[in-house]
Amino acid sequence: KAGVTQTPRYLIKTRGQQVTLSCSPISGHRSVSWYQQTPGQGLQFLFEYFSETQRNKGNFPGRFSGRQFSNSRSEMNVSTLELGDSALYLCASSVSGEVTGELFFGEGSRLTVL
C-alpha cells in the first residue's frame, strides 16, 4: 500500500510569492491534516479536511489556506510568503480522523523563503 505522498519535497521561494503544496493520502483515507514544523515552534496544526470540507483549523493567518478534492487529495496554499514561513510542511492522513486513530505522515515539503 502506497504511503502518503507529498510534492514537491523541496522548494525555494522569495518573499511575497505564493506556494502550493500537494498531498496524496493513503488510498481509502478520507481525512487529511496539515502541520507546520519549525525549530522554534515545533509541530503546529494548520487544518484538517474530511470529505472535501475543512472541519478543523489551527491558529494561522488567512494567508494559509487549503482544500481537498473528491479523491481525497489535498493542497495547501500560502500567499504573500514571509521569511517566517520557512518550515517543513507535513501532511498526514487517516481513515476518518477519529480520536483513537493513527495519523500516517508523509515525508514533508521543505519550504525555504528568501
Partner 1 sequence: GNSVTQMEGPVTLSEEAFLTINCTYTATGYPSLFWYVQYPGEGLQLLLKATKADDKGSNKGFEATYRKETTSFHLEKGSVQVSDSAVYFCALRVFSGGYNKLIFGAGTRLAVHP
Footprint on this chain of partner 1 (rule: CB under 8 A): 4, 33, 35, 42-43, 45, 48, 55-56, 58, 90, 92, 97-100, 102-108
Nearest CA to 87 among 11, 36, 53? 36
Q: What are the grid coordinates assigned to 52, written together?
A: 472535501
Angle at 113 between CA 15 and CA 5, to 5 degrees: 125
Nearer to partner 1, 91 or 113 (CB): 91
Q: How far is the CB of 36 from partner 1 (least distance, A)?
A: 11
Nearer to partner 1 by C-beta: 27 or 56? Answer: 56
Contact at 8 Å (CB) between 12 and 85?
no
Query: What are the backbone dihedrals phi and psi of residue 36, each rounded to the nearest 5 degrees, phi first?
Result: -105, 130
The least distance separating partner 1 from the CB of residue 56, rounded to whole angstroms, comes to 4
Shortest approach of partner 1 to residue 15 CB, angstroms?
A: 26
